[in-house]
Structure 1
Amino acid sequence: METTARLGMPLIEPGQAQKEMVHNEALTLLDAGVQSSVLAAGVDVPPSVPMPGQCWIVGHVPEGSWAGNASSIAMWTEGGWRFLRPTEGWSVWDASAQQVLRYVAGSWETGIISARRIVIGGTPVLGAQQPAVPTPSGGNVIDIEVRRAIAAMLVALRTHGLIAP
């Protein structure tokens, strides 16, 4: 059976009998993959009593009816399990973690936001990392408390990756 290049949806062949079955299968897979939301990610054991439409991201060592489908999106249907193999850049909402997962370099990552800059309410609040800010040192008149406060702020900014080390 031929499938689409990106999502692997089954294609209806000319003169094929029971075309509705292929069409319904494709719709079922689209239902799992478009604007996808999963109950949990990294699950290796299929749930014992899934409900139709519920989805999970299969873990690295799947068992039972999930064997051979590591990292796939598994959706329970009235006809059994359906699996979608993700491709680079897919995003999925993980309801248990309340986070977006992204499929990058062959695995699902969570909690990582990749951006060139962050704009809130039209105001840029974070851009590309700038050159390092030197830690204060030397001088004839030294206010030790101020230097300690500035040094602590620089450490915090460097620790959070907001300025270069």
Structure 2
Amino acid sequence: MSENTPRLGMPMIQLGQAQKHVTHNEAIAVLDALVQPVAQDADRTDPPATPGEGDVHVVANGATGAWAGQDHALAVYFNSGWTFHTPSAGWTIHVLASDQTLSFDGSSWATRSVEATAMLGVNAQADETNRLTVSAAATLLTHDGDDHRLIVNKASPSDTASLLFQSGWSGRAEMGTMGNDDFAVKVSADGAVWRNAVTFDSASGVPSFPALPAFVAASVGTWAEITTPNTDLPFETITTDPGGYFDTATGAFTAPVSGIYAFVLNGSLAQTTNGRVSLAVNGVTQIAQMQALVGAMPLSFTVLQPLEAGDNVTFRTGNVNAMLRYYKGHMVFSGWKVA
């Protein structure tokens, strides 16, 4: 019959043994030290001057004195003396002095590492999709001496690697490489309809702004004239208008958001012209006006204009000297948001 248990080395009561209570009490003392084990410290090489009854210490390398030869052992102060327990690989113990949990690998103690786990929830429930879930006021990722990089990796260019921002669990903004390797930022007002705000080409780095309000409108035909003041010039053809903000029925552009816009009018005037051209905002003619357009000449009019969302803009004849004769096929009205 074995004298000690194989895992914890507790003494076993032998057949016919006298003083059985002594062996039993020794085994209980081992359990007291090794079940839910807690050590005072793990960096001592010699015993403390005034140990407490039942105190446990992890003996550090190079032990001396009463601990000599007991490197890595658990030293337990029991019945006014030291007993030692040799750890086996896989044992763990919490150390009060450092507030760390140590594991024994068969030759040394080291801070316990977190093993791979299928999912982890921190103050929240993880699931098969969100395998790491954190519910907190903030999440901090910081350096360990120098740099810190957060890596989001995808399998192929056609997949998505992104950061998604939500409001009430509904998407509002997303940034990353979505469906290709170009870096993009897109936004949504409802989580269903998304608009690309800016895209950086992965090959060149050149940015594009797909949602930037911009348009080019043109007239069709030959010579035409307007003889009445405050009359909007017509533009029947759209070359580009990604947001659909220009109305060919009225010749007006409507600002979708507040900001500063640039507007350009280019064209050719006839010899009989004697008038003015004005930028009109919400039907107010003299926002910006070219004076004394008399005779044949090229027309080029550029205006920077602050607008509020919903303001509409046209180019029109002035409030006086209304005779404007122009070549329709040369007249182009363009604009875009600049700030």
Distance 1:131 1:88, change over 3 A: farther
Distance 1:19 1:79, change over 3 A: farther
Distance 1:84 1:122, change over 3 A: same
Q: Which whole-Å CA distance do the structure 2 matches of 1:72 and 1:12 have between them?
A: 24
List runs of 5+ in structure 2 lacking aligned partners: 134-150, 158-180, 183-200, 208-339
SS in structure 2 opposite 1:109?
strand
Q: Deviations over 1:93-135 (max 9, x none)?
A: 1111111111124211115222234411221218xx9968899
Distance 1:141 1:60, change over 3 A: closer
- The equivalent residue for 2:62 is 61
Matched ranges for 1:13-28 at <5 A: 13-28=14-29
SS in structure 1 opposite 2:72?
coil
| Structure showing greater Rg | 2
Q: Deviations over 1:66-107 (max 9, x none)?
A: 112110111111241111111111111111111111112421
Q: Which whole-Å CA distance do the structure 1 matches of 2:9 and 2:118 have between them?
A: 34
- The equivalent residue for 2:34 is 33
SS in structure 2 opposite 1:22?
helix
- The equivalent residue for 2:203 is 139
Identity between Structure 1 and Structure 2 (%): 33
SS in structure 2 opposite 1:65?
helix
Kept after mapping to 2: 8 A contact 1:29/1:82: no
- The equivalent residue for 1:42 is 43
List runs of 5+ in structure 1 lacking aligned partners: 144-165
Q: Which whole-Å CA distance do the structure 1 matches of 2:54 and 2:33 have between them?
A: 7
Shift of 1:59: 0.7
Q: Which whole-Å CA distance do the structure 1 matches of 2:107 and 2:152 have between them?
A: 31
SS in structure 2 opposite 1:41?
coil
- The equivalent residue for 1:162 is none
Residues 1:7 and 2:8 aligned together: yes
Q: How well do the aligned residues superpose, as a CA RMSD in angstroms?
A: 2.7
**Residue type of the partner of 2:117?**
R
Matched ranges for 1:65-80 at <5 A: 65-80=66-81
Q: 4+ runs of 1 displaced by more than 3 Å? A: 129-138
SS in structure 2 opposite 1:43?
coil
Kept after mapping to 2: 8 A contact 1:42/1:71: no
Q: Which segment drifts farther, 2-11 or 106-115?
A: 106-115
Q: Which segment drifts farther, 77-86 or 87-96?
A: 77-86
**Residue type of the partner of 2:125?**
G
State how many pairs are aligned.
141
Q: Which whole-Å CA distance do the structure 1 matches of 2:58 and 2:202 have between them?
A: 56
Residues 1:98 and 2:105 aligned together: no
Q: Which whole-Å CA distance do the structure 2 matches of 1:14 and 1:130 have between them?
A: 65
Distance 1:16 1:112, change over 3 A: same
SS in structure 1 opposite 2:109?
strand
- The equivalent residue for 1:122 is 125
Give TM-score scaled by structure 2 length. 0.38
Q: Larger % of helix: which?
A: 1
